[in-house]
Structure 1
């Protein structure tokens, strides 16, 4: 018999960074093995405010096989013209792989066969509230179960 103690962890896990790679640099086999790519191969890296990070990986079935569906978004608070122009030019396509880094582990999602879409969404309110921001939205599907690597 397998026994589960089922008690909560003694620490709080929080997202710290989202690291983006070209999907072509992460092959399917390495993703299947859970091999985290070297940071020097990353093309973008975002520091994340944990309280504003929305994260969901849903487990679904398709043709009697499991499928994992990613839906993540977080605000981009740097509203400088250079950053906004760069993000509009760099994103809004689906050819990326993502590493989520928390204070205790990393998770790789996406590969050359199953790329992740990164969208850059204008959520400015222009209402004098000080709540203007852009949103980075990540989405995609994979048949590879997400694998966590301890830092």
Structure 2
């Protein structure tokens, strides 16, 4: 018999950055074995994310009895300079990516050459004087592979 101790951790997990890779740089077998791509191959890196604004929904689901992982992650792009907006409009709104989420304790790899993820750039400006204007980077997709974790 194995006993699991359900003790509360004494730290908080916080997102630090999101690394976006070309899906073709993450081979399926490497993703399956938890081999992370080198950071030098990242196409785009979003640093200094605000943890409270990071929305992470990664759920296990089944379709016709087959398990898969459904990914729905988003965070705001707070630097709304025209340069950033122009770059994001050019780079994203495509399904050809793999991502690594870097938290304070662990990295998580999702997506690969066979099962690429979509990254969308969404305009959420209100222009209502509230100061809540932002763009959203949304990452979505499905994969039959469970998220792979690596301790930092």
Tell me if both proteins adopt one fold, taking TM over 0.5 as the criterion: yes
Q: What is the SS of the residue equivalent to 2:70?
A: strand
Matched, 1:90 2:91: yes
Q: Which runs of 4+ in 1 moved over 3 A?
A: none
Unaligned runs of 5+ in 1: none
1:113-135 superposed Cα distances (whole Å, 9 cap, x missing partner): 00000000000010111111000
Task: Name the structure 2 match of 1:21.
Answer: 21
Q: How many residues align?
A: 151
Task: Name the structure 2 match of 1:149.
Answer: 150
1:38-57 to 2 correspondences below 5 Å? 38-47=38-47, 48-57=49-58
1:29-57 superposed Cα distances (whole Å, 9 cap, x missing partner): 00001111110000000021100000011
Task: Name the structure 1 match of 2:4.
Answer: 4
- Give me the TM-score of the superposition, normalised by structure 2: 0.97
1:98-151 superposed Cα distances (whole Å, 9 cap, x missing partner): 000000010000000000000000000101111110000000101011121001
RMSD: 0.7
| Pairwise CA distance, 1:60 | 0.4
**Partners of 1:137 and 1:76 in 2: how far apart?**
10
Task: Name the structure 2 match of 1:79.
Answer: 80
| Pairwise CA distance, 1:71 | 0.3
Q: What is the SS of the residue equivalent to 2:24?
A: helix
Unaligned runs of 5+ in 2: none
Task: Name the structure 2 match of 1:61.
Answer: 62
**Partners of 1:140 and 1:64 in 2: how far apart?**
19
**Partners of 2:19 and 2:132 in 1: how far apart?**
25
| Pairwise CA distance, 1:66 | 1.0
**Partners of 2:128 and 2:65 in 1: how far apart?**
48
